[in-house]
Amino acid sequence: MIAFVGSVFSPYYALARRRHAHVDPENHCAINLAIYSPGNKRWTMTERSAASISRNQTEFVIGPSSLHWNGDHLRVDFVERAIPFGQRVVGHFKLYPKQLFYFSTHLDDQHKHRWGPLAPSARIEVELESPNIKWQGNAYFDSNEGDEPIAIPFKDWDWSRAQLSGERTAVIYDVRQRNGIERVLGLIFTPDGRIEHFEPPPRQALPKTGWRIQRQMRNPKDAQLKILETLEDTPFYARSVLSSELLGERVTSFHETLDVPRLSSWAVQFMLPWRMPRVK
């Protein structure tokens, strides 16, 4: 689940920025939900205007859905419609951080784009009414923010996270900027609140997606790297589950690739409204 204020992928937000010097990001909010359960796969990302949202320090309401911080956990309630067939996606989840972090770092040379995990390791309780699914497990919670469109500084990036022994979480951000400078982050977040830096292993190419996006992963040269499942295969973005090796451990890595020029292309911008409808 991703909650957007100023949806970075929104074709409506991009069009508004081309027409006006100053655009209110709160006029382009959305909740993206992706369910990959076999037989119950659903995907929703309806954009809503400022007339349908409200937010304060503890709550963010987007149309019929909301996020609320309840002191020791985040509760998310959602009533959405899946694309393209309009199935209802209704339910809630509760996310209990094992440790909260107040860490943020820049992703670009101008320090206009920042990322940081709020709860790198958390427990989640999911209860869906539609589709009827309930489960509990491990979760991850982070935040990205920027002062300009991502198309200005970035060419593409690969991001991954993996659960290590001792309830540690490892994150690799492998960023290529349009100026040709690369920025690579390797960070471990421990359950006692410490942050450790490490040197990510060499970059290895993964098979291209069906849309011919080049995925790459940091993995030791002599270690097996395998795609277990491709969850999202779009013209500009891929989400995958990998079997890889990190710091001497065999891990399951959650992996994402973003191709920014593809996202900005006129063809993709023309297609996006079919996946991201907008209502007031």
CA distance linking residue 278 with residue 27, whole number of Å: 11
What does the alpha-carbon distance between residue 110 and residue 32 come to, in Å, rounded to a whole number? 28
Which pair of tokens denotes residue 218? 């940091």
Predicted pLDDT of residue 216: 97
Q: Which strand ranges, in their side-by-side order, compose the sheet holding 278-279?
A: 2-5, 29-35, 42-48, 278-279
As beta bridge partners, residue 184 has 174
Residue 255: CB partners within 8 Å, gap ≥ 6? 158, 159, 160, 215, 217, 239, 240, 241, 242
**Does residue 198 have a pLDDT over 90?**
yes
Global pTM value: 0.95
Q: pLDDT (tens digit, 9 = 90+) per residue, 44-67?
A: 999 999 999 999 999 999 999 999
Instruction: Provide the β-strand partners of residue 156.
Output: 176, 259
The chain-wide mean pLDDT, for the chain, equals: 97
Burial of 106 (0-12, 13-18, 19+ CB in 10 A): middle
What residues contact 125, with CB distance under 8 A and at least 6 apart?
93, 94, 96, 136
Tokens of 41: 């796969």
pLDDT above 90 covers a percentage of the chain that reads 99
Cα(109)–Cα(112) distance, rounded to whole angstroms?
8
> How many domains does the chain contain in total?
1
Identity of the residue numbered 77: D
Looking from the CA of 230 toward its CB, the CA atoms found within 13 Å total 14
Decide: 195 and 187 in contact? Cβ < 8 Å: yes
Confidence label for 209 from pLDDT (cuts 50, 70 and 90) = very high
Q: Would you state the pLDDT for residue 21?
A: 86
CB 81 within 8 A of CB 87: yes
DSSP for 173-222 reads EEEEETTS-EEEEEEEE-TTS-EEE-----EEEPPP-TT----EEE--TT
Tens digits of per-residue pLDDT, 8-32? 999 999 999 999 989 999 999 999 9
Rounded distance, CA 153 to CA 258, Å?
13
| Band of residue 268 on the pLDDT scale cut at 50, 70, 90 | very high
Q: Tokens representing 77?
A: 């309630």
Q: Is the predicted pLDDT of residue 253 greater than 90, yes or no?
A: yes
Please classify residue 135 by burial: count the beta carbons closer than 10 Å to its beta carbon, then call 0-12 exposed, 13-18 middle and 19+ buried: exposed
For tokens 């309830």, what's the residue? 167
Question: pLDDT tens digits for 87-142?
Answer: 999 999 999 999 999 999 999 999 999 999 999 999 999 999 999 999 999 999 99
Residues 6+ apart with CB under 8 A from 237: 9, 213, 256, 257, 258, 259, 263
CA distance 122 to 137: 8
Length of the chain: 280
The domain in which residue 106 lies consists of: 2-279
Q: Is 224 left (phi over 0), alpha (psi -120 to 50) or beta?
A: beta
